[in-house]
Structure 1
């Protein structure tokens, strides 16, 4: 499949027989990591599976840096997210909010039933973020296991700022950040440079979101065709594989440290 894991079989749930999974789950401080992506338009130059490809790669990249004595497994990615704001462009598959919540709750609950001490959702799509925050609570209140959630592109923002060339608004949907990562991880899926046309994120409200690295304290719903003719928001023309490698190394190191901290807290 187009979003096949780039990760090691050592931490891949899907590649193991069930007795090996339950042995890992029953170890002290076991951690189950659930990558959550989407299938949605990313302009003319990136595939619709971009969010799923990237979050899966980030999670596996982080898990590979964790010592083998840390009991950790990564589920297959939840590949469809909540993306109604992308539907006008076509190419988007979106789950209903309640359906996605139920999927994430069920995955977490059954992971806990296998014996895991902690479940960590790692999100790769902005439209999923508030829902994952809610699921941390809806599952957390019903179990003694620890439930956590994060969105990978909100990590290490100061370090990423030092990598970027674009101004605020250039690292948005299909912009410099995501296009650089795709050029590093899956250049075969990135269109030629003449197709990389994005519009700088220009939100009316100063408190609204302005960038992947600057989400803003004000939530505003807008269909993405109000922001961009192509569907891409940001500066994809500034992307490079070299920047993508630096972003990848930075974020996977942050995730590895998080996974170890979760294990240590629950051991």
Structure 2
């Protein structure tokens, strides 16, 4: 996804030969990262590939910072996720829960046949989070000698988001200040700034999730069409490339720390 901008990447699974991949996998403390996104509407100003572009960038940004010390490789992104709640707007491609779980299990299982010591399922779409918890358990149960992990990238910078944002609560739920800022930094060619609209959705219950970086404990089924006429939930009008650069650097730095910690935890003791 991001290869159009950055060219061939050192950590790119898809650009390596099979022997290069197996050599990385057989190295002590090796890690394979599987970015997982979605293809779904993000309002009129962002492309449907937003989640996939951003999680792919997060994976490669982190991996590139440790590639000299940590044997790590990033697979091509799993580009479709659980996005049925976006279907009313069109442009969305979605998987059923079991189909996506089977897909991640098969991708994970075959990736680990290359002898990696750890696998990180890196998520970029809020609707995938519950399924990733299941996938970690099912993959982990089959590979008890492997470190099996999952993470949603924007949770890494929850505190930074609060420092950087200008929007009110509810301003970064979907296609809002956060995602639009990151896209303005990474792929400004795909952002239509003239079509940005701000939508602060009314909350039915106080315990519902309010922003992407939040942790509202109450779950409730609804489609995005129940909350917004444009597909946006948030305030992209407050986004900027400068904020996006800051947030991207934050993701990169937190990924660097995590991958370093994982590598040290799984290395064979000297």
Alignment TM class, shorter chain as reference: over 0.9
How does the TM-score come out when normalised to structure 1? 0.96
Q: 1:5·1:56 contact (CA, 8 Å) conserved in 2?
A: no
Q: 1:7·1:60 contact (CA, 8 Å) conserved in 2?
A: no
Q: 1:199·1:235 contact (CA, 8 Å) conserved in 2?
A: yes
Q: 2:174·2:232 contact (CA, 8 Å) conserved in 1?
A: yes
CA distance in 1, matches of 2:102, 2:36: 13
Q: Which residue of 1 aligns with 2:254?
A: 254
Deviations 1:85-133 (A, max 9, x none): 0000000000111111011111111111110010001100000011011
Deviations 1:165-211 (A, max 9, x none): 00110011000000000000000000033x10131133211111101
Q: 1:8·1:64 contact (CA, 8 Å) conserved in 2?
A: no
Alignment of 1:147-166 (within 5 A): 147-166=148-167
Deviations 1:123-174 (A, max 9, x none): 0000001101110011101112110000011112112210000011001100
Q: Which residue of 2 aligns with 1:218?
A: 218
Q: Which residue of 1 aligns with 2:188?
A: 187
Q: Which residue of 1 aligns with 2:245?
A: 245
Q: Secondary structure at the match of 1:199?
A: coil
Q: Which residue of 1 aligns with 2:96?
A: 96
How does the TM-score come out when normalised to structure 2? 0.95
Q: Which residue of 2 aligns with 1:43?
A: 43
CA distance in 2, matches of 1:6, 1:228: 34
Q: 2:33·2:119 contact (CA, 8 Å) conserved in 1?
A: yes
CA distance in 1, matches of 2:54, 2:121: 14
Runs of 4 or more above 2 Å deviation? 1-9
Q: Aligned Cα RMSD in Å?
A: 1.4
Alignment of 1:10-159 (within 5 A): 10-143=10-143, 144-159=145-160
**Alpha-carbon shift at residue 215 of structure 1 (Å):** 3.3
Q: Which residue of 2 aligns with 1:207?
A: 207
Unaligned 5+ runs, structure 1? none
CA distance in 1, matches of 2:168, 2:146: 41
Report which stretch shifted further, 35-44 or 248-257. 248-257
CA distance in 1, matches of 2:126, 2:201: 14
**1:229 lines up with 2:225 in the alignment:** no
Unaligned 5+ runs, structure 2? none
User: Does the C-alpha gap of structure 1 residues 119 and 85 become closer, same or farther in structure 2, counting only changes over 3 Å?
Assistant: same
**Alpha-carbon shift at residue 67 of structure 1 (Å):** 4.3
